[in-house]
Amino acid sequence: MTHLLDVTADDIAKLNDADLRTVVARLCLAELGSQGLPLSGVTAGGHQDAADGGLDVRVDCATDLPEPDFVPRKLTGIPDPPPS
């Protein structure tokens, strides 16, 4: 039996762009929070469907992350998915 919190690649592939951006932002928030860093360093905004090739989620911390993982650097940008 699969546990409720076991997420597979297939589960992620089924997300629409807006839901995927929410998941990515929450992962960034969770990482910063677990390391005692301000959550205000994470921003996710703009029109989700804008064809601007911009960033979906941005992390801007004043200091380096003590234990970088999902967020590799104090300044990290996660781009829009490429058009299909």
Per-residue confidence in pLDDT tens, the chain, 84 aa: 567 778 888 988 898 888 888 999 999 999 999 999 999 999 987 666 666 567 889 999 999 999 999 999 999 998 876 555
Look at residue 34 in the predicted model and tell me its pLDDT.
95
Report d(CA 31, CA 26) in Å as an integer: 9
Which pLDDT does position 46 carry in this prediction? 67
- Model pTM score: 0.81
> What integer pLDDT is reported at residue 6 of this predicted model?
85
**How many angstroms separate the CA atoms of 83 and 74, rounded?**
27
Kind plus residue range of the DSSP H or E element containing 34:
helix 17-34
What contacts 24+ positions apart, CB below 8 Å, involve 53-56?
53/79, 53/80, 54/79, 54/80, 55/79, 55/80, 56/20, 56/21, 56/24, 56/25, 56/80, 56/81
Q: Which residue has the tokens 């967020």?
A: 71
